[in-house]
Amino acid sequence: MTAVVVFGGTGFLGRRIVRRLAEEGAAVRVAVRNPGQAHSILGLPDPARITVLRADVRDERSVAAAVAGADAAVNAVSAYVEKGGATFEAVHERGAETLARAAAAAGVARFVLVSGIGADPDSPSPYIRARGRGERLVREAFPNATIVRPGAMFGPGDALFGVLADLARRSPILPLIGGGTRLQPAYVQDVAEAIARILKESESAGRIYELAGPIVYTLRDLAGMVLRLVERRCMLLPVPFGLAELQARLFELFPSPPLTTGQVDLLRVDNVASGAMPGFHDLGIEPRSVAEIVPTYIGPSRAPS
């Protein structure tokens, strides 16, 4: 039985990866900073099928212990807000490098880093820059690492449609940041499936995959779709990026900010696949569309996700 350790295994994508691997019979280790609520977050019917470990990508000793004896490792750790020592550099650069080095030293055969479309080591955005530099550091430490770059992910509990629907239900005005920005959203379950297949296919080692959905939308298109689903009539209010960044900095003072500076930065440029790299179809996956999935969890009578 394959032993896979998933860092960030209770996150939006991470918990889907854990469930998918567990369904295939893998021995899954979930490496998280706060393991107390991990089993309830994962929602597995049989918690004994997984092992929860306390580990922090900023702590070399805990990372080394988590990867010891594993066949594969997945880094699905993500930080949209810098708090305390958990800066973008500490998590997405140094943390990713620490994990990759520990995996290489432990003889782990496969390593997958979850990054994002648009990752750029030279970006003026601290978040996007850290993602890009993290990719480079991982490839230096673990040359055969597979890098996965999903588009904006959607699914129950997402930070895209769920937030838009919540705002639409609460206010007659729907703020719109970068309404013309083009997005190619990917269903989170499809991304988890892609990672499961990558771990089984030896030819995927060392490759970069752009995992984008089948349709490109503007953010304004997506906002209009949400309004139709929740059956609300709201005024779409364009918000300048400068004002949005100021609001995000204020929101980041709260425990669960509805908007972060990293998210604002992502909306400044189009978030679509380049077409120059392999994607879902190269893994035999037909990605599901926004129109197919989002109505199953966003609607007039449904509580905010």
**pLDDT for residue 48:** 61
Quote the tokens at residue 11.
């996150």
Q: Is residue 110 part of a domain?
A: yes
Surface-to-core class of residue 253, CB atoms within 10 Å of its CB (0-12 exposed, 13-18 middle, 19+ buried): exposed
Q: Is residue 201 part of a domain?
A: yes
**pLDDT for residue 254:** 84
* CA atoms within 13 Å, Cβ hemisphere of 189: 11
Q: Is residue 103 part of a domain?
A: yes
* CA atoms within 13 Å, Cβ hemisphere of 37: 3
**pLDDT for residue 305:** 37
**pLDDT for residue 40:** 63
Q: Is residue 240 part of a domain?
A: no
Asked whether the beta carbons of 174 and 223 are under 8 A apart, the reply is yes
- CATH no. for residue 72? 3.40.50.720
- Could you read off the pLDDT of 183-194 as tens digits, one per residue? 999 999 999 999
**Spans of the chain, pLDDT less than 70:** 1, 37, 39-41, 43-48, 301-305
The parent domain of residue 136 ranges over 3-154+185-212+272-286
Tell which residue, 183, 77, 199, has the closest CA to residue 130: 77
Three-class DSSP category at 148? strand
Q: Is residue 234 part of a domain?
A: no
Q: Is residue 61 part of a domain?
A: yes
- Could you read off the pLDDT of 45-98 as tens digits, one per residue? 555 678 899 999 999 999 999 999 999 999 999 988 888 888 999 999 999 999
Q: Is residue 221 part of a domain?
A: no
Read off φ and ψ for residue 53, nearest 5 degrees. Answer: -120, 145
Q: Specify the pTM.
A: 0.93
Per-state percent for the chain, helix, strand, coil, to nearest 5: 40, 20, 40
Q: How many domains does the chain have?
A: 1
Q: Is residue 53 part of a domain?
A: yes
- Read out DSSP for 168-204? HHH-SEEEEESTT-EE--EEHHHHHHHHHHHHH-GGG
- Could you read off the pLDDT of 104-117 as tens digits, one per residue? 999 999 999 999 99
Tell which residue, 285, 249, 279, 282, has the closest CA to residue 264: 249
